[in-house]
C-alpha cells in the first residue's frame, strides 16, 4: 500500500513516500527499472508527447521523460519538501540549467545571489548573456538592494541558503514576499540545508533545487539533481529539460540516491550535532581567526537561522593564520579529513578556498561586494564537510593539524 504524505512525519516519509513493494516478489527494496523503453497501448491509436501538459500523467514510455524508479525518487523528494511534484536530473547543474532555460527568454532579467556555487555563478554571468538574458548579482540578504535591482523584465530570482561557501543566509520568507509582489518566480538552492533543515516551499519559495549528489545521496557514489515545486511548474520544466535538454537522471543513480534518502534524517541530525561541537571547539583555538556556522551565536544571522533552520547543518567554514601550511597538512597528513572539493559524504572532507583565487576565477564583484565577501571569508577559508565519524576523533585530528 502506498504512503499518503499527509499522514506521516518527514522521518517516515524519507522511507515510505512513493514506495510500493514489488507486486510479484513483494521485495522491500525498490526494484531498478533499467529499461529505456516501455511497451504501451495508446487509447486513441496514436501517441505523441506533444499536447500533453504533464508527462507523468502519460504511460511510462521513454526513460528520457520519466521512469518507474526515477518517479519513486521524485515522489519521495516532493513529499519531503511539502510540495506537489519533483523532476530528477543528471546533476545539480542540470537542475539549475533546467530552471534557467525553462523560465528565461531573450530579453528577460535574472537576479542571482552574488555568492553561490561557482559553476552556477559562472553560468549566469558567462553563458546566459549569450542567449540574450540580462543578469544582476545581488547580496540577497539586503532586501533593499534586491528591490532596487528589480526591473520590469525581471522573471526570476535565484538564491542559495546557506550559500556556498560563506554560509550566509537569505531570509526566504521576506524574499518570497518581495518576489510575489512583483510577480517574479523565486528559486532557492537548498543543497546545504536539505529538507531536514529547511523546507523553502513552506516559506513561500516557488522552486527548490538540490544537488542530490551531496547530502541527499550521502555516500559520494552517484551524481544527481532535482527541481521541486508546484505541479504546473515542474511539468513545464520536465517537458523542456527532459524532452529537449536530455537532463533526466538514469534509474541506477536514482535508486542509489533513494537509498541514501532513507537515512537522510538521522545522518543530517548526527552531522549537525557533530558540526556544532566542532565549531564551538574551533572558536576557542588560538590559530583560528573566525568561524562561520549557522548554529553558533556568533554567526551574523544566528536569529534568522533559528527561524528557518531546524539544525545548523553539516558544513563549517573558518579562517586561520598560515593557510597554505595548514592546507598542506590537511592534504598530506590528515587521516580522517579527506582533502576534496565536495560536501555531504559519510566521511569528513576539507578544502581551502582562497579569496583571491575565487575573485580571479569566478566572482566578478564590485568593490562593495568583495568587501562584504571578505567580511565572512577574509583572505580565504577552510570548508569542512562533517561526516559520521565520532566528533571527538575529528576534534583530535583538527587539534593535531592546526598545531
- Asked if 112 contacts 137 with a C-beta cutoff of 8 angstroms, the reply is yes
Q: How confident is the model at residue 44 (pLDDT cuts 50, 70, 90)?
A: low
Q: Cα(164)–Cα(162) distance, rounded to whole angstroms?
A: 7
Query: In the prediction, which pLDDT does 50 show?
Result: 54
CATH 3.90.1150.10 segments of the chain: 264-402
- Asked if 380 contacts 322 with a C-beta cutoff of 8 angstroms, the reply is no
Residue 1 has pLDDT above 60, yes or no: no
Which residues, other chains included, contact 189 with Cβ-Cβ below 8 Å and sequence gap of 6+?
92, 96, 116, 117, 120, 158, 159, 160, 161, 209, 210, 211
Residue 311 has pLDDT above 50, yes or no: yes
Please identify, in words, the CATH class of the domain defined by 5-261: alpha beta
Task: Taking residues 367-390, report their average pLDDT.
Answer: 96
Q: How far apart are the first and last CA of the chain?
A: 56
Residue 211 has pLDDT above 50, yes or no: yes
Query: In the prediction, which pLDDT does 33 show?
Result: 83
CA distances from 86 to 74, 92, 234 (A): 5, 13, 6
* pLDDT, the chain, mean: 92
Q: How confident is the model at residue 38 (pLDDT cuts 50, 70, 90)?
A: confident
Residue given cell 518517479 in the structure block: 71
Fold type of domain 264-402? 3.90.1150
Residue 5 has pLDDT above 60, yes or no: no
CA distances from 51 to 103, 194, 236, 239 (A): 19, 34, 12, 10
Phi-psi sector, 334: left (phi>0), alpha (psi -120 to 50), beta: beta
Could you give the percent of the chain with pLDDT greater than 70? 94
Q: What are phi and psi of 89, to 5 degrees?
A: -120, 170
Q: What are phi and psi of 366, to 5 degrees?
A: -75, 170
Q: Which of 41-50, 115-124, 268-277, 304-313 has the weakest average pLDDT? A: 41-50
Residue 4 has pLDDT above 80, yes or no: no
Residue 41 has pLDDT above 70, yes or no: no
CATH 3.40.640.10 segments of the chain: 5-261
Helix-strand-coil percent breakdown of the chain, rounded to 5? 40, 15, 40
Query: In the prediction, which pLDDT does 48 show?
Result: 55
Query: In the prediction, which pLDDT does 3 show?
Result: 42
CA distances from 118 to 93, 343, 372 (A): 11, 14, 17
- What strands lie across the sheet with 315-320, from one edge to the other? 288-292, 315-320, 380-385, 349-354, 338-339
Query: In the prediction, which pLDDT does 254 show?
Result: 97
Amino acid at each position: 500500500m502506498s504512503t499518503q504524505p499527509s499522514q506521516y512525519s518527514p522521518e517516515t516519509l524519507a522511507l515510505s513516500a512513493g514506495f510500493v513493494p514489488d507486486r510479484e516478489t513483494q521485495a522491500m527494496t525498490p526494484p531498478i527499472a533499467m529499461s529505456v523503453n516501455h511497451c504501451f497501448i495508446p487509447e486513441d491509436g496514436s501517441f505523441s508527447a506533444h499536447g500533453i501538459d504533464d508527462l507523468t500523467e502519460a504511460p511510462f514510455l521513454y526513460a528520457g521523460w520519466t521512469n518507474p524508479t526515477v518517479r519513486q525518487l521524485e515522489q519521495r523528494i516532493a513529499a519531503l519538501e511539502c510540495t506537489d511534484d519533483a523532476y530528477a536530473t543528471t546533476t545539480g547543474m542540470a537542475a539549475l540549467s533546467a530552471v534557467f532555460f525553462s523560465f528565461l527568454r531573450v530579453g528577460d532579467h535574472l537576479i542571482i545571489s552574488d555568492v553561490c556555487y561557482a559553476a552556477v555563478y559562472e553560468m549566469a554571468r558567462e553563458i546566459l548573456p549569450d542567449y540574450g538574458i540580462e543578469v544582476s548579482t545581488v547580496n540577497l540578504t539586503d532586501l533593499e538592494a534586491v528591490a532596487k535591482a528589480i526591473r520590469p523584465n525581471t522573471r526570476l530570482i535565484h538564491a542559495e541558503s546557506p550559500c556556498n561557501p560563506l554560509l550566509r543566509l537569505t531570509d526566504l520568507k521576506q524574499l518570497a514576499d518581495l518576489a510575489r509582489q512583483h510577480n517574479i518566480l523565486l528559486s532557492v538552492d537548498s543543497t546545504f540545508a536539505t529538507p531536514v533543515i529547511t523546507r523553502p516551499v513552506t516559506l513561500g519559495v516557488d522552486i527548490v533545487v538540490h544537488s542530490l549528489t551531496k547530502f541527499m545521496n550521502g555516500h559520494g557514489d552517484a551524481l544527481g539533481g532535482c527541481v521541486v515545486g508546484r505541479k504546473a511548474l515542474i511539468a513545464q520544466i520536465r517537458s523542456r529539460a527532459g524532452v529537449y535538454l536530455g537532463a533526466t537522471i538514469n534509474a541506477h543513480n536514482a535508486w542509489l540516491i533513494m537509498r541514501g534518502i532513507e537515512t537522510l534524517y538521522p545522518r543530517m541530525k548526527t552531522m549537525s550535532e557533530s558540526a556544532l561541537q566542532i565549531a564551538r571547539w574551533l572558536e576557542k583555538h588560538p590559530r583560528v581567526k573566525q568561524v562561520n556556522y549557522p548554529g553558533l551565536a556568533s554567526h551574523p544571522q544566528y536569529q534568522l537561522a533559528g527561524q528557518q533552520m531546524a539544525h545548523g547543518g553539516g558544513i563549517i567554514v573558518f579562517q586561520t593564520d598560515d593557510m597554505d601550511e595548514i592546507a598542506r597538512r590537511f592534504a598530506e597528513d590528515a587521516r580522517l579529513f579527506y582533502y576534496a572539493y565536495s560536501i555531504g559524504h559519510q566521511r569528513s572532507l576539507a578544502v581551502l578556498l582562497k579569496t583571491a583565487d575565487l575573485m580571479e576565477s569566478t566572482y566578478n564583484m564590485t568593490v562593495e561586494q568583495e568587501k562584504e565577501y571578505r567580511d565572512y571569508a577574509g583572505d580565504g577559508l577552510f570548508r569542512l564537510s562533517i561526516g559520521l565519524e565520532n566528533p571527538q576523533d575529528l576534534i583530535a585530528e583538527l587539534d593535531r593539524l592546526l598545531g
